[in-house]
Amino acid sequence: MSSCDGRAAVILDGLDAAVRAELRLEIAAEVDSTNEVVKRRCTSGADIHGLALLADRQSAGRGRLGKPWFSPPDSNLYLSLGWRFDSDNCDLAGLSLAVGCAIAEQLQDSMGVDIRLKWPNDLYIAGMKVGGILIDIVPASGEGWQLVVGVGLNVAMPRTDAIDQPWTDLAAHLKVPPSRDDVAGDVLLALTSMLSDWPAAGFLSWREVWQRRDFLVGNEVAVQHNGAALVGVAMGVDSTGALTVDTDSGVVSVHAGEASMLRLASS
Ligand code: BTN
């Protein structure tokens, strides 16, 4: 057994039996991107349902909208989980928001950190980005959906000027820096429970969590919408996870895109 197999066994042993039964966990010292590795496995015919890949380093980590994801060695969490929903009728609207909700709730429970969620896929602490979520949909043969859910979380980031926005890590908000493997266990627990319940529960069961943790609500935002920048006040998300923005020309629902905060409501 390699040391990675030993680490994987320890992480899985910390999870309850029902969650453990859903997962196969692999740990790699270095990959290009954990999402890409799981996608390639899928393309070459492997069953990726429940396949989790944790890497100590990514040489070509991917963020949303084609951006790179800075992935220094042995410091942060780089994790992807493959999942399959067997029915075409499974509604994926709001799924990526629910991933953020589930992770935030779990990390609050286990380590007491207060994570806010910035639409659609960013995790924030104290106004700074601490993590992000990247979901790839992989074509499924037959009915249903196959997904790769990628999570990047800054655990103890070395000093860097490689990131072009305010950022933080979990260690900065805790008395004792968490171990990456403990964080991995928490994230796997959150994802597996959420994804298992998703076909029956959908986004409606997470909307209250989103509202409680919404980073943008009430503030002036700019959102890319139909190729143009839309400015208005964020009013929260609707039952499908779309961002609702109150603009000069009326209330607009934005289903996909990127939002940035222009001004805090109080300033
Ligand atoms: C974002 O905020 O832009 C999303 C970042 C997602 C990064 C994670 S790290 C693990 C997985 N592998 C990748 O290449 N990307 C995701």
Between the CA of 124 and the centroid of ligand 1 the distance, in Å, is 15
Between the CA of 215 and the centroid of ligand 1 the distance, in Å, is 20
Give me the pLDDT at residue 266, please.
63
How far apart CA 243 and CA 120 sit, in angstroms, is 8
Pocket test for ligand 1, best of 54, 75, 128, 151 (most atoms within 8 A of CB): 151
Evaluate if residue 226 carries a pLDDT over 90. Answer: no
230-249: average pLDDT: 96
Please tell me the residue having the least CA distance from ligand 1 atom 15.
Answer: 62
How far apart CA 69 and CA 162 sit, in angstroms, is 10
Between the CA of 67 and the centroid of ligand 1 the distance, in Å, is 9
- The sign of the CA dihedral 200, 205, 206, 210 is positive
Pocket test for ligand 1, best of 27, 51, 78 (most atoms within 8 A of CB): 78
Q: Tell me the two tokens of residue 32.
A: 């290009």
- Domains of the chain by range and CATH? 3-213 (3.30.930.10), 220-263 (2.30.30.100)
End-to-end CA distance of the chain: 57
CB of 80 sitting under 6 A from ligand 1: yes
Percent of the chain with pLDDT over 90: 86
Write out pLDDT tens, residues 168-215.
999 999 999 999 999 999 999 999 999 999 999 999 999 999 999 999
Give me the pLDDT at residue 192, please.
98
Evaluate if residue 267 carries a pLDDT over 70. Answer: no
Residue 53: pLDDT band (50, 70, 90) is: very high
Evaluate if residue 1 carries a pLDDT over 70. Answer: no
CB of 64 sitting under 6 A from ligand 1: yes
Give me the pLDDT at residue 143, please.
85
Residue 2: pLDDT band (50, 70, 90) is: low
The number of the ligand 1 atom at minimal distance from the alpha carbon of 64 is 3
Between the CA of 34 and the centroid of ligand 1 the distance, in Å, is 8
Other CB atoms closer than 10 Å to residue 5's CB: what's the count? 12
Please tell me the residue having the least CA distance from ligand 1 atom 7.
Answer: 152
CB neighbour burial string for 216-255, b if at least 16 within 10 angstroms, e if fewer: bbebbbebebeeeebebbbbebeeebbbbbeeeeeebebe
Write out pLDDT tens, residues 130-159.
999 999 999 877 888 999 999 999 999 999
Write out pLDDT tens, residues 75-114.
999 999 999 999 888 899 999 999 999 999 999 999 999 9
Between the CA of 244 and the centroid of ligand 1 the distance, in Å, is 25
Evaluate if residue 5 carries a pLDDT over 90. Answer: no
Whole-model pTM: value is 0.96
